[in-house]
Structure 1
Amino acid sequence: MADHLVIHRAGISAVQDLGRFGRSRFGLPVNGALDQFSARAANVLVGNREGDPLVEVAMLDFSCTPSTDVLLAVTGAPADLTVGGVPRPQWEPTAVRAGETVRIAGIRRGARVYLALHGSVEAPSLLGSCAPDTILGFGRSLRDEDELAIGRGIAPIDHPVLRHPVFRLGVPVPPFPEEWTIDVTDGPDIAEFGASAAKLFDAEYTVSPQSNHIGLRMRGDVPQREARGEVLSRGVPVGAVEVPAGEELLVLHRGRGVTAGYPVLAVVTATGLSALGQVRPGQRVRFRKRSVEEAVAAYRAQRNTLRALRKRVSTVFDALRIPTTTPAPATEAL
């Protein structure tokens, strides 16, 4: 029987990757991990490609047991991680013996945790991605007592060094505040709001429980559109801050439809989208205006952080004779 994880408590979890890129022209959303930075970092920490499949756990407790020795990493929101009842750190590679139970409990301040295994996990793929798509009815949401195959062609990993705090890889863990600041750039319709557009950066918004991977609804002092006339349906980017009629903003995320007909006041930056993927219902959000140049610089800095982390991981794994996976080409990793 193939090596596998037995899922004891699934909570709200699914097998994810970075998404289904280049398919918007067919009307398909990109989907994928909502916190892209944490997902990428989890895979890098265990020597995988950044886009390899991993487990995304949302808000509720999760537990599993591997049938073989594995190396894993847990990133994302702060949580209580234990292996065989012993507390272990997040954002570091952790060795787990066959039969030991891995528990992730008490997820707090953020919404999502990512669990990556050295060698990845197996999942069906559609158009180059295993990311769930609710419109197509595709993807693997996990249930209690599911068995998730470990997809690797290498020997099990249980290196004694990884059971002790000898190596600390120094991942710059992003903040998980009680009140979030989300960076945005100007949207295509900002001129239609006149002076009212400034409200977006002065007000505080509360995330509605009616929020999901498609978009977040936020209540607060909503800017008012001054222009008259209808907005024609057109393509909208992930991160579009839409202003429908009413008392809520609608901030589109990775599961959004590719067209919409509401005015777009702003667009969340690439780094801001990962932060937005961690915001819980009931938390407060403020928006911060950034230029396109500032947004690009922040994204490049984040990519450089992951490249530096991969170099440190490769150095440690080479010293311990643990195999790593060759990074994907840049065009695939973006």
Structure 2
Amino acid sequence: MRSFAQSSPDQRVPVVVAVPVDPQAISAIKNVDGRVEVLFHDPHSEPGARQRMLADAEIMFGIPADVPGGPTEVLRSCPSLRWCHATNQATLDGLRSATFTDEERRRIQITGAGGGHAAALAEFAMFGLLAWAKQLSGRPTARQGADHPLSELAGQTLLILGLGSVGAEVARLGKAFGMRVLAMTRTGNGHAPNVDELRPARFLGDMLPVSHAVVLALPMTGQTAGLVGAGAISRMRSDAVLVNVGHGGVLDGRALVRGLEQGQPAAVVLDAFAAAQLPDDSVLWSMSNVLISPRSAADTDRQNARVLELFVANLRRYLRGEEVVGRLWPAAA
């Protein structure tokens, strides 16, 4: 990577803002350094002009959604590109599973919103658990009699699959509610804050039967695709609540429907689906024990500000010749 700390003070650094932002965001990027030249991607501009602008980009904030070939081809078509910051988790997950050459991995640094989504998604996960515990969605209400008392999260066992920034925040909130927190990672090595027991993936079948709440916070990889399928669902408690704030492909949709129809788990809260959107004819829409947020749990009134803050902090590092934080893959040796 070029070291801008050793460049001349007037070195031009083209930054293409490829997603809609407000004027304050443009100003914040410009104000980082006088070398920064902000170019705004206009989807209505003439295709040739747009391609020339993208080809000139050294840094890209967001990835234009209207360019043929998808995010991977967009990055490959920008020969000057050295760093791209993905502004949403779906794009980042897609790039994580895409195939890049060794040269492309050396040339292009990819970062994403990272922990910027963690607070919002963890809050949504806890909201989902509370909604069922307090009978706010689908289940019989307290006014229907004492046969359906409200429940408490305190004392329940919470199982978290994946301890990235989102999973770690769910663990913190779960512990604050007085829950016993279990967590599963690929290796299960070491200890983690706010986690009572950390186990590797091979013990998933042992942890599910003792868990009142299961939160999926996993990205899509070769190891996690369809991880929670018929076998895992059959091991869940009949009173368990399942929440997915990770990648939708981790959860087998057909097995989930069969499990819900058979009363195992008791309820599910979804913010992610295997497809980009849950089909209109999906039976999940009509099930009373399903709560759906169509990929909007992270879209809070503070989310855009968090994403911009992360990008600006990394832009300063980049211009100083330092490695940016939160890369999709490690720096080349």
Tell me whether the two structures share a fold, i.e. TM-score over 0.5: no
Normalised by the length of structure 1, the TM-score is 0.26
Higher RCO structure (Cα 8 Å, ≥6 apart): 1
Structure with higher helix content: 2
Normalised by the length of structure 2, the TM-score is 0.26
